[in-house]
Structure 1
Amino acid sequence: MFNQGLSLDQAPPISVPFRFFLSAPIFGVLISLIFLFSPFSQTSNQFHYVSIGIVHLFTLGILSMIIFGAMQQMMPVLAGAVIKKSKLFANIVHSSLVLGTLGLSFSFIFELKWLLHIGVLFLAIAFFTFFIVSIKLLFNVKYLTSTVKAMRLFALAGLITFILGLFLATSHITSNLNEKYLVFVNTHILFGLLGFAFLLIMGVSFQVIPMFYVALDFPKFIQHKLPIILFITLFISFFFFYFEINFLFLKLIFVVMILSFAYFALKSLNNRKRPVFDVTLWYWKFSLICLIISMIIWMFDIFESNYILAIIFAFGFLYSLLQGMVYKIIPFLSWFHLNSKGYFKIPTIREFIEEKYIKVHFFLHFFSILFFLISYYENKFVYIAGILFLFSNILFLINAIVAIKKYTNISKTDPMDFSSFK
């Protein structure tokens, strides 16, 4: 399953990914507060500055935060690409990402252009540091699995996404929104969601689903051909936007590729070799169902507004799946690091976070999405959605802290002290 055996020499200190995972739900709390204290006409309008701010709180503060944290763990373990001075690297990327996300997002929400300067500066530090190092390491990997290949494409797509975003931010700073501005906006969105986010999720799924759930492997074509075809199609899309060519055919290609992945992912999860109950499967399956629904909505332009599509794709697909992954990664890393240090009496992976609280979180998350969707028709329900989303993120944070606290308490004891686990 892994290129090399798991070892603490390869894996970064456990504090490296954990700081990113703990930060994500805090940005979720901020998003919920903006939904609660801003008019629905602003939060649901994709062109309004408040909506743009929310989008970037999610894509930078939640999506990028979890991905950056997970990648610093997965690159050494899944690809054998070890980050030197991993603590320094994490400190630079994490602090810059937090400050940059707050600066850029609040510059739109409160319409303060000076914050945009600060946001762009820190995001440039975070993204260039992360992607330059990642690209260098990943393209030096000798043993290429389907996951490593997808990681390479993810890193390139992420860098392109940021460069496009940097161009757009500079356009706002200089108030120079030329006639091709929307071309770069659409390309930025497409590379961000289908390149940066989806490519990595797809690539990691090739190893994570069979490993964590003892499930079927994906077909070889899906593993080795689909990511590169998707990446090439993303490049072609820019020319469709630039020369104003009808996008319908290209959209169909995207939808077919994404639905193919969703189908085989669900097939793998539904045909596990050891069908033991695992609450994180709820997150994965719900996420993939939301992905399918969002692709149907996108393909046929079912709704005049993109609000419903955004909620289902961002909160339903992306955030659900990322939460499910974090609920697997934190307990696994806690167990792995303690086991590697010689502790004998430690919780099992499933004992670091009580399943009943993960279930409660799932239902809070599910119903928050449901009420966000209902609010499209009855705007007042956005307040129920906002409150549910608030409590969902608070519980997500608490669950993560509980697991990390268990790890911390045990790691402070003598490995041979059998009273360390109570």
Structure 2
Amino acid sequence: MNAGLSYAASPPLALPLRWFLSVPVFGALAGGWLLWAGPAVMAGRWQPQALAYVHLLALGVLLSAMLGALIQLLPVLVGAPLRRAAPIAAGVQALLLPGIVLFAGGLGTGTAPLVRFGSALLLCALLVYAAAALPAWWRSPRSGESARTIGWAGLSFLIAAALGFMLAAGHGWAGVPLLRRLTDLHAGWALIGWVGLLVAAVAWQVVPMFSITAPYPRWLRTGLAPVNVAALGLASLDAGWPLPDWLCHAAALAAGAALLGFAACTLWLQHRRRRRLPDPWLGYWKLALGCAALAVCLWLAGRFGLRTGSGGSGSSTEMLSGLLWLLGFGTTLVAGMLQRIVAFLVWLDLSNRLRAVRSAALAPNVRELIPAAALQRQFAAQFLSVGLTLAACTLPALARPAGAAGVLAWGLLALNLVRAIRTGRGWRQRIGDGSAAVAEQSVTI
């Protein structure tokens, strides 16, 4: 599975790390918002407090993590390094991060000027990023299932972003109608198309590499993305030109089956992994994929008229299924994979530096950079945060405890990432001083 990876094309370590370190900050902001706003966040999907919370997670956590990951993935997986990556990454972040804060703050407080200014910054940031990434993608060979899945995920993101800016215009400008009927399409393209497929593209590589499993079956690697994009495309057509019910139901069933197949296959591969040592990292996958499976089942139930609740503010089932996917699946996997990937990148950087100076020393492995005990503490806090937030959909009084648990979980994630980075910095200084001692342990990833 690793034969096609070009580690030599990896960007400087600081580029993805700069993005990854912003993720727990926004996660803590989302937790802090839930702690402050409390039950109002759970009052309905259209409530301003709920919109702010959702977008702090979706943009601040997921988008920041995934744009940062693409800086690493495009050259390594796709063979598409970004030209002038350092100034582009810095410029995009300078626009994106304040844009997220202003946009979410505007939605949460109903302040139209903040929505306008924040969405303008977001648009500029994404245009600059696309102007760098799309030509790199076009020049690349684009071979392998991971590369193709990233392409489908990128297409989904462009559609989700276009729908999102149309909705933002309705929130920010009095003369622009708020097209709420586009909300489900925006969420579908963003969460299933963008987040789901990009997670799958990464999983094709990191699950066999880090868990020492067999590869994913070829039918899943080649079929997951086209099935889901086709289903989302039919749903989009149905919103403008109604299609036969049987066709829409069949597409929804096919997409749901593909997503459930991905969850089941991942858990089975990890259960049958060749490395039998206990690995707390697997807990993130179990929690995330369990939440994803529940979200898909609730989504299908709603599709076939089995949803509970009613009213213009949105049902509790819709809130629950959305949070299962966004928080339980998306942010849980981001938290787990960031810790493993950051530790791996630090290890890779140190190994390359030691090799360059022809040192016999061995870099600390990923389990030394972020010890199992630290990983377990963060996972326990993440589990508590997800559980309390999901329970708050039914018992809104739990919203503030859920927010406090979220702040704790993201704070522990920040500590773990900073620990790995500081350890790597100390080793780099020793390597530069020529004082790296020969380690007596084997390097294990």
TM over 0.5: yes
Provide the residue aligned with 2:122 in structure 1. 123
Residue number among 322, 328, 342 corresponding to 1:330 in the alignment = 342
Q: 1:4 to 1:297 in 2, by over 3 A?
A: closer
Q: 1:379 aligns with which of 389, 396, 402?
A: 396
Shift of 1:418: 2.6
Please state whether the residue corresponding to 2:383 is helix, strand or coil: helix
Give me the whole-angstrom Cα distance separating, in 1, the residues matched to 2:211 and 2:308.
36
**1: CA distance, partners of 2:406 / 2:375:** 15
Cα distance between partner residues in 1 of 2:57 and 2:69: 16
1:202-217 alignment, distance < 5 Å: 202-217=200-215
In structure 2, distance between residues paired with 1:392 and 1:177: 39
Higher relative contact order (CA 8 A, sep 6+): 2
How far apart, in 2, do the equivalents of 1:421 and 1:164 lie? 53
2:392/2:398 contact within 8 Å kept: yes
The partner residue of 2:384 within 352, 367, 371 is 367
2:330 corresponds in structure 1 to 318
Partner residue, 2:174: 175
**Residues in 1 aligned to 2:133 and 2:290: alpha-carbon distance in whole angstroms:** 31
2 CA distance for matches of 1:256 and 1:136?
34
Residue 289 of structure 1 is matched in structure 2 by 290
Tell me which residue corresponds to 1:86: 85
Q: Residues of 2 paired with 1:4 and 1:374: CA distance? A: 42
1:222 equivalent to 2:220? Answer: yes
Letter in 1 for 2:170: S
Q: Which runs of 5+ in 1 are unaligned?
A: none
Q: Deviations over 1:335-363 (max 9, x none)?
A: 10011011624311210012111101111
Provide Cα deviations, 1:90-140, integer angstroms capped at 9, x if missing partner.
102222210111111001112221111221121112212223432322233
For 1:150 and 1:87, how far apart are their aligned partners in 2? 25
Residue 54 of structure 1 corresponds to which residue in structure 2? 53
Q: Which amino acid aligns with 2:325?
A: F
1:243 is aligned to 2:241? yes
d(CA) in 1 for partners of 2:109 and 2:181?
A: 26
Q: Does 1:197 align with 2:198?
A: no
- Residue 6 (str. 1) matches residue 7 (str. 2): yes
Q: CA deviation at 1:280?
A: 0.8
Structure 2: how far apart are the matches of 1:99 and 1:2? 39
Q: Quick check: 126-135 or 103-112, which moved more?
A: 126-135
1:56–1:105 contact (8 Å) kept in structure 2:
yes
Contact 2:167–2:180 under 8 Å retained in 1 = no
Q: Offset at 1:216?
A: 1.5
3-state SS of 1:142 partner: coil
Going from structure 1 to structure 2, the CA distance change for 1:364 and 1:303 (only over 3 Å counts) comes to: farther
Superimposed CA distance per residue, residues 191-240 of structure 1 (whole angstroms, 9 cap, x where no aligned partner): 10111111111122111111121111111111112212221221111011
Q: Which amino acid aligns with 2:411?
A: I
Runs of 4+ aligned structure 1 residues displaced above 6 Å come to none
Q: Normalising to structure 2: TM-score of the pair?
A: 0.89
Q: Match of 1:280? A: 281
Mean Cα displacement is larger for which, 52-61 or 217-226? Answer: 217-226
Partner of 1:232: 230
Secondary structure of 1:417's aligned partner: coil
Contact 2:378 2:412 in 1 (8 A): yes
Distance 1:4 1:218, change over 3 A: closer
Structure 2 Cα separation of the partners of residues 230 and 279 of structure 1: 30
By how many angstroms is 1:170 displaced?
2.0
Moved more, 281-290 or 122-131: 122-131
Residue ranges of structure 2 left out of the alignment (5+ in a row):
310-315, 441-445
- Aligned counterpart, 2:435: 417
Aligned residue in 1 for 2:140? 141
Question: What corresponds to 1:99 in structure 2?
Answer: 98
State the TM-score, normalizing by the size of structure 1.
0.94
Residue 230 of structure 2 aligns to a residue whose secondary structure is helix
**Given residue 397 of structure 1, which amino acid in structure 2 is its aligned partner?**
A
> Which range moves more in the overlay, 227-236 or 390-399?
227-236
The 3 A distance-change label for structure 1 pair 339 and 259 is same
Give the 3 Å change call, closer, same or farther, for CA 406–384 of structure 1 in structure 2: same
Determine if contact 2:142/2:148 at 8 Å carries over to the other structure.
no
Q: Is the 8 A contact 2:52 2:105 kept in 1?
A: yes
The amino acid across from 1:403 in the alignment is A
Deviation at 1:70, TM superposition (A): 0.9
1:128, 1:159 within 8 Å by CA — same for their partners in 2?
A: no
Q: Given residue 205 of structure 1, which amino acid in structure 2 is its aligned partner?
A: A
- Please give the alpha-carbon distance, in whole angstroms, between the structure 2 residues aligned to 1:29 and 1:143: 36
Does the Cα contact within 8 Å between 2:20 and 2:68 map onto a contact in 1?
yes
Q: Which region of structure 1 is more displaced relative to structure 2, 393-402 or 406-415?
A: 406-415
Note if contact 1:288-1:317 (Cα within 8 Å) is conserved in structure 2: yes
Give distance in 2, aligned partners of 1:313 and 1:95.
28
Secondary structure at the aligned position of 1:175 is classed as: coil
**Per-residue deviation at 1:143?**
5.1
Judge conservation of contact 2:44–2:319 (CA < 8 Å) in 1: yes
Which residue of the partner structure matches residue 313 of structure 2? none
CA distance in 2: counterparts of 1:84 and 1:138, whole angstroms: 11
Matches of 2:24 and 2:438 in 1, distance apart? 29
The within-5 A match list for 1:11-50 is 11-50=10-49
For residue 254 of structure 1, what is the amino acid of its counterpart? A
Report the Cα distance in structure 1 between the residues aligned to 2:42 and 2:107, rounded to whole angstroms.
12
State yes or no: 1:402 paired with 2:412: no
Q: Percent identity?
A: 23
